[in-house]
Amino acid sequence: MSALFERRNGLPCYRGLPLERRRITIATDTFEMIALKDAAALLDDAEFVRDCEKTDRLPYGFELWPAALMLAEHLYRNDPGQGRRAIELGCGVGLVSIAAARTGWHILATDCDPVPLQFAEFNAAANAVEMEAFQLLDWHNPPVGLRFSRVLDADVLYQRCDHAPVLQCIDQLLEQEGMAVIADPNRGIADDFALLAEAHGFRVEVIPTTASFDGQAPVAGRLFVLRRAPLPIT
């Protein structure tokens, strides 16, 4: 067990909160993933809340979410990497990045919070998956000079104030012929995201999808698939 975690009453924990180990099967592959059972419980930790207030971020990158499974399954069904480069924004505990690596992508896993990145690194090692790197990245300030064939995001549209920065970050990171895929669990706040993306110069396809962790009811969602709009003919 990583030094990031502790044990209480013989059970693995993070900041005193129990972890869960989930076995996730996609196609013929099976992953073992460690995550928090209830990330919202971190908001009862006063020190942790103070840290959240400094960054204006909620602690939801510590949990496994259905949108991550939607995007991981999409990669397996429709989008093998064949050695191309991809980046995940807001990777959380790492399911999408691990699935991308398994399907042939050279993947850079990024998050604005260093602790979920440690979860992702632990999970990648536990599943014998190699990443290009794990890197801190705030989509309000994307790196200059990096370009990727795919930009992947799962459940990053839960605050309207992030929609434009996410699109600007995608525009900065995406190759001219590349594609961004954003998985969303049908959050109402993201209903106008496609129109906003088109206003930013992208062609948008919205693909309905569902995902279900073992033993849980299916969750409906959608994939926003973004490509650069063709340049006008002059």
- Tell me whether residue 146 is in a domain: yes
Beta carbons of 169 and 110 less than 8 angstroms apart: no
Domain that holds residue 176: 65-228
Parts of the chain with a pLDDT under 70? 1-3, 8-11, 43, 48-49, 51-59, 231-234
What is the pTM (predicted TM-score) of this model? Answer: 0.90
- Tell me whether residue 18 is in a domain: no
Tell me the three state secondary structure of residue 187: coil
- Tell me whether residue 57 is in a domain: no
pLDDT in tens, 85-140: 999 999 999 999 999 999 999 999 999 988 889 999 999 999 999 999 999 999 88
pLDDT of amino acid 6? 76
Q: How many CB atoms lie within 10 A of CB 131?
A: 22
- Tell me whether residue 220 is in a domain: yes
- Tell me whether residue 175 is in a domain: yes
pLDDT of amino acid 214? 82
Give the residue among 187, 137, 134 at the shortest CA–CA distance from 163: 187
**Helix extents (H) in the chain:** 46-55, 66-78, 95-102, 114-126, 163-173, 193-199
- Tell me whether residue 174 is in a domain: yes
The one-letter code for the residue type at 209 is T
| Residue 172, domain CATH | 3.40.50.150
Beta carbons of 61 and 45 less than 8 angstroms apart: no
Buried residues in 10-24 as b, exposed as e (16+ CB within 10 A): eebebbebebeebeb
- What is each CA distance from 43 to 3, 14, 56, 60, 117, in whole angstroms? 22, 13, 13, 10, 19
- Tell me whether residue 211 is in a domain: yes
Give CA–CA dist 130/141, Å, rounded: 26
Phi first, then psi: give them for residue 8, nearest 5 degrees. -130, 125
Beta carbons of 181 and 72 less than 8 angstroms apart: no
The one-letter code for the residue type at 15 is R
Question: Into how many domains does the chain fold?
Answer: 1
pLDDT of amino acid 61? 81
pLDDT of amino acid 10? 61
- Tell me whether residue 72 is in a domain: yes
